[in-house]
Amino acid sequence: MMIESLKYMPQPKEANATLAEHFTDLAPALNARQAAIESSRCLYCYDAPCTRICPSDIDVASFIRNIHEGNVNGAAVGILKQNILGGSCSRVCPTEILCEDACVRNHDAEGQPVKIGLLQRYAIDNMTITEHPFKRAASTGKKIAVVGAGPAGLSCAHRLAMLGNDVVIYEAKEKSGGLNEYGIAKYKLTDKFAQKEVDFLLQIGGIEIKHGQTLGGNVQLKDLHAQYDAVFLGLGLGASKQLGLTGEDAPGLLAAVDYIAALRQADDLSKLPLPARAIVIGAGNTAIDMAVQIQRLGAEEVTLVYRRGFDAMSATEHEQHIAKENQVRMRTWAQPQQVLLDEAGRVRGMRFEKTAIVNGRLAGTGETFEIAADAIFKAIGQGMDEKSISDPLAKTLKRDGDKIHVDDQFRTVLPRIYAGGDCVAPGQDLTVQAVQHGKLAAHAIHQDINGMKEAA
């Protein structure tokens, strides 16, 4: 358990069964009648803007037409062909800034986009395909190592296997799924969905997953490079960024992702440590997920604090609305200045400095205020876990700041080593984008290593 630093705290007042009800689906699924009505609203645009903006190239108009015509299996296969994690993406994707934002229905008298995310979920959840919808190509005799069983690694492995290659995935944690398993709010991916999706993906065959395998620990890049025809790094961003304040290692202060992971893995929610008052620092979806979940567990007062204004938040308006609906207090234009500790050295609150834009730059105003809290959760972004790229070969990877540098085919500067997902430079750190990176990298790897054979 990474949340040792909270173990002295009380537990939720409600029983596990009651608490579990607070973590059911955020958006209820469509039934068949609702799906029929919703799919009939689609105009099946030629050169549809929803398809153009989809990071994983799903032909949106086509799958919605299939639903409208009663061909749910056809809709599902169309989605999965482009995005093998289409089920989780339909639940976690910020459709409000992607396909649904681009929908032409936004601009007519209804002013309501087609509910593309819910229709995608309907297709995947209601398909009646008894066996895996994709068949493997003839064996190429090639073997590829994939590091990381998150969305990028899984997507890459599935496509490589489909193209006839054998794949071994090296995963540090005991379960596959990456952020889908450990990092998404419990009310967004319910009912062990991430594991069901992994099981489905593995039905393609030709993929082996080894757990407890840490790059830079018991696995070295130089060994993988020597043993396999190619290596794909889907490392994600495993290290939480630091505030850079004294008292950051005090009991009661921890990374939001660690608490979210513990919450997602908990068999009994009533056994989790629960602060009465909590501060969440950050402005992205992780900050909102953290604040809303701790509120739903029964915290009395949850305050989300961000150094800029609402319009600069990376969490979408839809996410901000979820926080407000769940009584999360939101304070903007304030930056952490000091962690306040009690006599026992535990968190008792935080001092903030008010901020403002001065000459086009964010600056402190000198005016401070304090918020009392039993716990502080940092959600200020994730960075590269330096240990994972610490072996001599990994150190030679070219970096763009915190990310691994790749070309437009996801090749790193090292021959036969590729990378994708959150750990590479281009991107917004979206699940759907990681899936696309993995898929495109798989095609590049397949062509590069099987093309070499033909050239020889």
pLDDT single digits (tens) 129-139: 888 999 999 99
Structure confidence at residue 1 (pLDDT): 45
Residue 454 has pLDDT above 70, yes or no: no
C-beta separation of 202 from 349 below 8 A: no
Q: Supply the mean pLDDT for the chain.
A: 91
d(CA 231, CA 242): 30
Structure confidence at residue 110 (pLDDT): 74
d(CA 65, CA 72): 10
Q: Please classify residue 28 by burial: count the beta carbons closer than 10 Å to its beta carbon, then call 0-12 exposed, 13-18 middle and 19+ buried.
A: exposed
Nearest CA to 111 out of 122, 99, 103 is that of 103
What's the rounded mean pLDDT across residues 343-366?
95
Residue 426 has pLDDT above 70, yes or no: no
What's the rounded mean pLDDT across residues 441-455?
82
Write out the two tokens for 294.
Answer: 């701790």
CA 51, distance to chain mean position in Å, is 21
- Rg (alpha carbons) of the chain, rounded to whole number: 23
pTM listed for this prediction: 0.93
pLDDT single digits (tens) 380-395: 988 888 888 888 888 8
Q: Map out the domains of the chain with their CATH numbers.
A: 4-17+240-382 (3.50.50.60), 41-125 (1.10.1060.10), 143-238+384-455 (3.50.50.60)
pLDDT single digits (tens) 162-216: 999 999 999 999 999 998 999 989 999 888 899 999 999 999 999 999 999 999 8
pLDDT band at 456 (very low <50, low <70, confident <90, very high): very low
